[in-house]
Structure 1
Amino acid sequence: MSSWSDSLRFAFQPVINLTTGGVTGLEILARPEAGDILAEARRDPEVDLRLAVSAVRAAVRKETLLPLYVNVFAGTLADLGGLATLHDAVREAGRLPWEVTIDIGPPCTHVPWRALLDAVAELRGQGFRVCADGVGDGDIPLRLLVDLAPDLVKLDASLLARPAAVRAMRTLCEELGALLCVEGVETEGQCATALAAGAQLAQGELFAPPARLPVADVYVPPRSPGVVSVPRTGPSVREFVRPAALLPATASAGQVRALLTGSPDVSGVLLVDRAGVPVRSVHRSRFLLSMSGRYGHALYADRPAAKLGDPPRTVGVDATAWEVLEVVAVGDRGRTSDDVAVVDAHGRCVGVVRLADLVRALAETRVEEAAGLNPLTRLPGSDAITAEVDRRIAGGRAFTLSWLDVDHFKQVNDGAGFAAGDELIRAVGRALREASPDTARVGHIGGDDFLVLADQEALDPLASLVLDALWSAGGHPVTLSLATVLCPPGSVTDHRQAAACLAPLKKAAKALQGTSWVLGRAGAGGHEIRRGSERAPAPAG
């Protein structure tokens, strides 16, 4: 090792799960006390590889069990291939390759893509996870990013000033099966923006600065009530993944006991085979209870820990929180507190989820939804609908947004009484909810106004069921007005622009006689009259 190693130190910065507030891993950062070893590593792949090996060994000396993020330049991978030396160092350190993520950093401009992609394929074959680092501030082309198909994308915090870009990257990550991390977060405002834009992970000075020792505590700002990062259609299990405590399937009970007693926050240990596939699950309390009996240590200490474990509960990395709850519900009730292993497409463990995290997040979602329900119809208000509109826009999905109300509703209340008016509103709300497919969202935004978010193919059946009905209040016939704006991908930037496109259509629908329906397209002038007729002009004189 060259002399620069004598003055080289490493710092550790945690990567934070924004949903759970937990630490998902530690990025190892080189901190040379003299010289510019990082510039040398950028020029010399062999130096960069030795830095990565030294980083892994430094982490082992700190006795951290957390997953690791190790930085490597893209050019190093293209020149040296799958980094067999790093793989050997990880194995010698007693760590498993799937506990290590390789952060591939720029520059990328002059790196031969084919060699880089071949090296990444070799890394994955060894079990490493792959991260595209410095996206948004580096020079990685979008096409190369897609070809890399990383497990994680680290986005520079400067892009938080352009939330639409962050939302677009979240959409791309979902297509690639990757998580989105924002690095360099320094303020609570940046954290809130990252969360609102869909980032699942973050790191930066706000949570914890790089430190010589892995931190035990981090600061995570409380979530603002208006920020909802969990989609109501079913939060992804990716948002709740915690690091897993892994040991080889051949580990003894004594080894498991040493890990558990030395790590009080670890709730269980997964025993995995050489490929990283979970084979047994060891629950902390049950295991320690067995070991603490009168002859427990003597009986089990040197025996395989697998004999004190249970079959692992596993879900795929693309599962939803509801699917995890189903896995827990159909199993042994005595194991409801067990961690559930999250596995990738190859069955390898990428982490665990805890039931408490899921229940807490789903409960918060339900409380937020309940707080926004209209007391008359028990339908959500405008906030829920507009949030879903923004999610569909960020996801590049086409949608339709419709506004419906009762014509001359004040006269209905004045003539038939407010009780008859309330019953009419409840009946219209029920009809909209029953006529809408599961993919649609119906909201009651106050008074006699309703919003419907749906796919275009759902429009005609919904309109027929609601507009063809004979509505009345206090024995007097009532008509409805419906206005719809079609929003193809890219036609609107957010829910405000969609609402602005809907406003003139609403005015046009109200100008028609009888039950009416007006249809328009975002960004295009004019509209189509689907129901209703033009009012006759007033007689002259």
Structure 2
Amino acid sequence: MPPRILLHFTPHGRPPPGVVSEFAAERGLPVVDATDGRDVLERVGRSYPAALVIDATPPLDAALAVCRAIKDEAFTSVVPVIAYATGQGEGDDPAALSLEAGADEVLNHKLSERECALRLRMALRRAERDVSVHPTTLLPGTVQIERDIGRRLLTGEKFAVCYCDLDHFKEFNDRYGYNNGDRVILILSRILRDVVRAHSPTAFVGHIGGDDFIFNAPLDDFRKCCEEVISVFSELIDLHYTPEDRERGSFFGKDRRGEGYEVPLMTLSIGVVTNEHRSFVHTAQISQLATEMKAYAKTFSGSIYVVDRRHGGESALAAATASDENASGDHTQ
């Protein structure tokens, strides 16, 4: 994983304020300057910086456009944005306009260096506390996952919650070591983020922990996302095994009792819950059903996604006993 940076966007080509440079140096954060908004969005989308500091000195259009783009995008809204202004132009209010655009904190030339440093520190601390990004993948954690589902419930949109889980990951970890296991987790996070973003710009990807991920997508988009994620994952995962294991299609492992057995190569199971045929009033209802569907998906061999088609009247046990027509009518193997 690349080292974290403090990204500094200045459409005016000025260096960051001294207090920002000192703050970054104290925390070992390299400061990377950017003068083009497209470059900023590309960098933030590629690897989340520790923070984005934007030069909000008038004229403001470029700085505010970048701030809005970062905060309106589910994949990048977790990045704390700090705006600063070295002065104030006539008719402009950089602080208010920056906050309206979504900035998490605002600095200006009237504040003391001590207060600026405290505001910078608190902005990063709030981001870590409220978002709880996963240290390996830097994807949003459970707080943000619940928040995104709750927002979609409030808007009344039709959407799908897709719970992704690796099969035989523990055995891979035991054989190849946790460093290689973390690498697989990171690669899966990148597949999910890039594929889901490509097919569904308003979707959201989060990391529950370990090898468990969730993405929420509009109803019209989730099938293509699931199919493409599985396709890309299936192409790449074999490369993480030795040639011998890859050719064999499995490796010899031992269970907790020390007995040997054949361990298949890793596959991906995705359990999907939608509000197409039923209404939900709380995120916990969706979470429980998504967990059921993920467990049901893992009963199949190979990489697969299964969709809950129940209308709400069936027993919860139906997820594990329903026919393909009722519960897993959409799947990829």
Please report the TM-score for the alignment, with normalisation by the length of structure 1: 0.33
> SS of 1:375's equivalent?
coil
> SS of 1:530's equivalent?
coil
Deviations 1:418-460 (A, max 9, x none): 1211111111000000001321111111110001011122223
CA contact (8 A) 1:393 1:489 kept: no
CA gap of 1:361–1:453, structure 2 versus 1, over 3 A, is farther
- The offset of 1:320, in angstroms, is 12
> Does the alignment pair 1:531 with 2:298?
no
Aligned counterpart, 2:135:
375
CA gap of 1:512–1:365, structure 2 versus 1, over 3 A, is farther
Deviations 1:326-345 (A, max 9, x none): xxx9x9964299437xxxxx
Q: 2:154 aligns with which of 383, 387, 394?
A: 394
> Does the alignment pair 1:415 with 2:183?
no
> SS of 2:287's equivalent?
helix
- Separation of aligned partners in 2, 1:494 and 1:336: 48
- Separation of aligned partners in 2, 1:411 and 1:506: 19
Q: 1:335 aligns with which of 82, 89, 101?
A: 89
- Separation of aligned partners in 1, 2:90 and 2:185: 43
> Does the alignment pair 1:431 with 2:177?
no
> Does the alignment pair 1:457 with 2:220?
yes
- Separation of aligned partners in 1, 2:229 and 2:296: 19
Q: 2:68 aligns with which of 313, 322, 338?
A: 322
> Does the alignment pair 1:484 with 2:238?
no
**Amino acid in structure 1 at the alignment position of 2:166:** V
Deviations 1:52-75 (A, max 9, x none): xxxxxxxxxxxxxxxxxxxxxxxx
> SS of 2:137's equivalent?
coil
CA gap of 1:353–1:528, structure 2 versus 1, over 3 A, is same
- The offset of 1:409, in angstroms, is 1.1
- Separation of aligned partners in 2, 1:353 and 1:419: 45
Unaligned 5+ residue runs, structure 2? Answer: 1-59, 72-82, 107-119, 247-264, 315-325
CA gap of 1:365–1:531, structure 2 versus 1, over 3 A, is farther
CA contact (8 A) 1:485 1:501 kept: yes
Deviations 1:101-127 (A, max 9, x none): xxxxxxxxxxxxxxxxxxxxxxxxxxx
Aligned counterpart, 2:230:
467
- The offset of 1:408, in angstroms, is 1.5
Q: 1:503 aligns with which of 272, 280, 291?
A: 291
CA gap of 1:332–1:425, structure 2 versus 1, over 3 A, is closer
- The offset of 1:322, in angstroms, is 3.0
- Separation of aligned partners in 1, 2:90 and 2:173: 53
Deviations 1:35-67 (A, max 9, x none): xxxxxxxxxxxxxxxxxxxxxxxxxxxxxxxxx
CA gap of 1:423–1:339, structure 2 versus 1, over 3 A, is same
> Does the alignment pair 1:515 with 2:303?
yes
CA contact (8 A) 1:369 1:384 kept: no
Q: How does 1:29-428 map to 2 (within 5 A)?
A: 322=68, 334-335=88-89, 338-339=92-93, 353=96, 355=98, 359-360=103-104, 368-371=126-129, 372-428=132-188
**Amino acid in structure 2 at the alignment position of 1:493:** V
- The offset of 1:516, in angstroms, is 1.5
CA contact (8 A) 1:440 1:452 kept: yes
CA gap of 1:337–1:410, structure 2 versus 1, over 3 A, is farther
- The offset of 1:528, in angstroms, is 2.0
Q: Which has the higher contact order (CA 8 A, sep 6+)?
A: 2
**Amino acid in structure 2 at the alignment position of 1:505:** M
- The offset of 1:365, in angstroms, is 7.6
> SS of 1:480's equivalent?
strand
CA contact (8 A) 1:435 1:462 kept: yes
> SS of 1:436's equivalent?
helix
**Size of the alignment, in residue pairs?**
203
- Separation of aligned partners in 2, 1:385 and 1:452: 8
- The offset of 1:490, in angstroms, is 6.7
Please report the TM-score for the alignment, with normalisation by the length of structure 2: 0.52
- The offset of 1:321, in angstroms, is 7.5
CA gap of 1:333–1:463, structure 2 versus 1, over 3 A, is same
**Amino acid in structure 1 at the alignment position of 2:290:** L
> SS of 1:378's equivalent?
coil
- Separation of aligned partners in 2, 1:332 and 1:361: 15
- Separation of aligned partners in 1, 2:277 and 2:87: 46
The structure with more radius of gyration: 1
> SS of 1:406's equivalent?
strand
